[in-house]
Structure 1
Amino acid sequence: MSTHSDVLLAGAFAAFTVDLLVYPLDTLKTRFQSPEYKKIYYDASKDTVNRRLLFRGLYQGVGSVILNTIPSSGAFFTTYEAIKSTLTKANPIFNGSALVPQPFIHSAASATAELVSCFILTPAEVLKQNAQMIRRPAEASKSKASTAFQPSVTLQALKQFKRPSQLWRGYTALAARNLPFTAMQFPMFEHLKESIKHYRQKSGTFTGGLTETALITAVSAGAAGSIAAVITTPVDVVKTWIMLSAADESSEAAAKEKVEKAQKQGQSLDKLANKKGVTKKSGLTVAREVMREGGVKGLFRGGALRSAWTALGSGFYLGVYETGRVWLGDQHQSQEDAH
C-alpha cells in the first residue's frame, strides 16, 4: 500500500530523471516553435537550417526546471491519487455498475492536479524557455566546463524580467495546454494499462513483477502521451510565443507612456502596437499572429518532435513513477509483515 510520501517521492524522482533525459528535445521544440526561428536558425538565402546554432546549448536553463519540476510533479501525483481515490469511493453503484464512468473520474482527477502543478511550474517554464533561446558565444560551448548546469544562462534570462509577476505570465496558456493534454492522456493511459494487464492475465503470462509493471506503464503512457501531444500542439505553440514574450511585456502604465511618447513624436500607433512587449496579448491574438506568419502549418510547428519526446518522456516518466510507487509500497508492506 503506497503512502502519500511514497507518491511524492516517486513523482519527484520520475520528474528529475525524465527532465535530464528529454530536455535536449524540449529545447529543440522550443526553438522550432519560437517566433524568432526563421531569423535565428534558418538561412532563407540557402534554404537551410543552421544546425550548429540550433543544436548548441541544448541543456540551457535545465537547472531552474529541475528545482521546480520536483515539487510540481510531487504535487501533481499527490493530488491526482487523492482525487481519484476520493471520487472512486464516492461514485455510487447502480445495478452493479458505477454511475460515473471511470475515464471521467481520471479526467477530473488529472485536471485538478494539473491546475495545482501548473501554478508551481509556470515560473520555471517561463525561465526555461527564455533561457533556451539565449544565443551563447561559440567559445562557451567549447569550454571544458559543462554547459548543462552553468547558472549564467538562467541568470541572464532572469535579469530580463523587471517584475516577479512576469514569471507567471503564461499560466493560463500552460494550463490551457496541459488540461486537455492530461484529460486525454490519463484516461487513455489507465485504459491501455488495464487492458494490457487483463490480456496478459487471461493468457497466463502476467507476473506482476516490477520490470513488467514498468514496461506496461511505459508503453501505455507513451502511446497515450504521443496522441495527446499531437492534438494539443497548437496550444503549445501559442504558449511558447506567450512565454518567450513575457520578459518584454510592459505594465499598463508603461504601455500608456509609450503610446503618449509615440504620439508626440508622430510615430504610427499601428507600428507601435506590433512591437513586441508593448501590451499583453491574449492567447487568441497570439494564435492569429501564428496563423498570419505560418498558416495552419505554423500552429503545428514542432508537432512531430513534441510527439516523439512526449512518447519517450511520458513512457519513462510514468514508468519510473509507477515502479517507484509500487516498490516503496512493497518495502513498507515487508516492514509491517516483519513486525
Structure 2
Amino acid sequence: MSANTNTDILLAGAIAAFSVDLLVYPIDTLKTRLQSPDYARRYVDAGTRAVNRPALFRGLYQGVGSVIIATLPSSGAFFTTYEGVKSALNAHNPRITPLIRRAGGDQQPVAPLLPEPVIHAAASSIAELVSCAILTPAEVIKQNAQMVSSTSSLPAAAQRSQNATLVTLRRFRAHPLALWRGYAALAGRNLPFTALQFPLFEQLRARIRRSREAAGKVTGSLLESGCITAVSAGMAGAVSAVVTTPIDVVKTRIMLAAGDEAGGRESANKAAGQTGGKGNGNGKGANGLVDALGKTAAKRQAKRQSSLAVFKQVWAQEGMKGLWRGGALRGVWTMVGSGLYLGVYDSGRVYLARRRGQTLDEDELF
C-alpha cells in the first residue's frame, strides 16, 4: 500500500510549484519578452540596434501573483491525476506470455503489454490536459502582465495604480472568456513537452540509482532522493524545453494576441459608450463612429489566427531565428525549474510519509 495520501501529493506539488515560481520567474519574463512580436520595438534602440537593458530587465516579477495563485491548484491537479492514471494503467496492464523459450526450455518472464515509458507518457499527457484547464487564464494574465510597460520616472502613487496584473485584468474585464483562448496553444506546447520529459526523466533517474547502487554509494537519505530527482528532472526538462521551443513561441504569440484583442474591444466599447448620445444633427456622427468601431472589431476578429497560421507567420517574417528565439533561456529556466520542481516534490512526499512513521518505496515515487 502506498505511504502517500492525496493530501501528501497536493501539498508536495503546491510547495514545489511555489518554490519554483519565486526563484525562476524572472527568467520566464525575459523569455516572454524575447519571444514577443514587439521585442524589437520595445527593447531594441532603433538607431544603434543595441538592446535597451533597463527596459528589458525592468519589472521581472510582473504578473507573478496570478501564477502563484493558479499553479498551486493546477500542480496539485497534475500530480494527483498523474499518480492516479499511472496506478490505474499499471494495475490494468495485461501481461504477455512470449512464445520464445530459452535454450534450457524455461519460458521467458512475462512482459507487460504497455512498457513503462508509454505509461508515463500517457499519464503525464492526461494530467497535463487537466492542469492546463486551470492554468490557462493565469498564463494569459501572466504573459500579458510581463509585457506591460513600466517606468521608474512615474511617482510612487502612479506606479501603484499601474500594477501590471491589475492593468491586464482590466483589459479582460469585459471579455473574460478570452482568458481561455490560449488553452489549445498551452496544451499543444505542454503535451509534447511532458511526453518527452517524463519518460526521459524516469530513465535518467533509474540509471543514476543503478549506478549508485553498483558503486555502493546509496544512503537512502532525503537529500539523496531529492538530488537524484532534481538532476534527472533538470536534464530531461532542458532537452524537452529546447526541442519544443518553436511551439512555445507560437503559444506566447497567441496569448499576447488575446490580451491585445481584449484590450482593443474594451477601448472600442468605451468609445462607443461615450459617443452614443452625440451626433451631428442628422445622427450620422454617432452611427459613423459605431460603424467604424464595428469594422475595427471585425478586422480584429479576422486577425485571430490558428497555431499553424502563427507558426507560418513567424517563419515568414523572422525565419528559423524567430522560431527558436528564447530557446536558450527556456532551456536554462526549465532545467532549473524542473530540477527544483520535481526535486522538492519528491523530497516533500518522502518527508510527509516519514513524518507519519511510514516508508516510501522507490517505485512509489513516480
TM-score (norm 1): 0.88
- By how many angstroms is 1:332 displaced? 2.1
Alignment CA distance shift 1:101-1:44 (3 Å): same
C-alpha distance in 2 between matches for 1:334 and 1:224:
30
Correspondence for 1:219? 231
Deviation at 1:334, TM superposition (A): 4.8
Counterpart residue type for residue 209 of structure 2 = K
1:156 to 167, 173, 185: 167
Question: In 2, distance between residues paired with 1:275 and 1:34?
Answer: 21
For each residue in 1:10-62, what CA deviation from the matched residue of structure 2 results, as whole angstroms up to 9, or x when unmatched? 00010001000000000000000000000000113212100000000000010
| Residue 279 of structure 1, CA deviation | 3.9
Alpha-carbon distance in 2 for matches of 1:276, 1:316: 41
Residue type of the alignment partner of 1:285:
A
Residue 342 (structure 2) pairs with residue 326 (structure 1): no
Q: Provide the aligned length of Structure 1 versus Structure 2.
A: 321
Correspondent of 1:28 among 3, 25, 30: 30
Distance 1:240 1:275 in 2: 21
**Cα distance between partner residues in 1 of 2:230 and 2:332:** 14
Determine if the alignment matches structure 1 residue 127 to structure 2 residue 129: no
SS of equivalent to 2:153: helix
- Give, as a single letter, the amino acid of the residue that structure 1 aligns with 2:39: Y
Distance 1:150 1:68 in 2: 23
Aligned to 2:129: 115
Aligned to 1:257: none
Q: Distance in 2 between matches of 1:284 and 1:48?
A: 32
Correspondences of 1:157-306 after superposition (within 5 Å):
157-161=168-172, 162-249=174-261, 278-306=302-330
Give RMSD over aligned pairs.
Answer: 2.8
| Amino acid aligned to 1:100 | L
Q: Secondary structure at the match of 2:305?
A: coil
Question: 1:131, 1:213 → 2: CA distance?
Answer: 37
Alpha-carbon spacing, 1:76–1:302, altered in 2? closer, same or farther (3 Å): same
Identity of aligned residues (%): 56
Matched residue SS, 1:139: coil
| CA distance in structure 2 between the partners assigned to 1:213 and 1:293 by the alignment | 47
CA distance in 1, matches of 2:351, 2:192: 30
Contact between 1:291 and 1:298, CA under 8 Å: does it hold in 2? yes
Give the structure 2 partner of residue 313 of structure 1. 337
5+ residue gaps, structure 2 = 98-109, 267-287, 360-366
After TM superposition, the structure 1 stretch with the greater mean CA deviation from structure 2, 298-307 or 202-211, is 202-211
2:82 counterpart letter in structure 1: Y
Shift of 1:188: 0.4
Stretches of structure 1 lacking an aligned partner (at least 5 in a row): 255-260
Q: Residue by residue, what CA displacement relative to the aligned partner does 1:171-199 show, whole Å, maximum 9, x if unpaired?
A: 00000000000000000001111111111
Contact 1:2 1:325 in 2 (8 A): yes
CA distance in 2 between counterparts of 1:94 and 1:238 reads: 42
Distance 1:230 1:247 in 2: 26
Distance 1:221 1:301, change over 3 A: same
Bigger Rg, structure 1 or 2? 2
Is residue 64–residue 128 contact of structure 1 (8 Å, CA) maintained in 2? yes
The separation in 2 between residues aligned to 1:151 and 1:5, in whole angstroms, is 38
Pair 1:101-2:115 in alignment: yes
Cα drift, residue 224 of structure 1: 0.3
Contact 1:22 1:313 survives alignment (8 Å): yes
Letter in 2 for 1:131: A
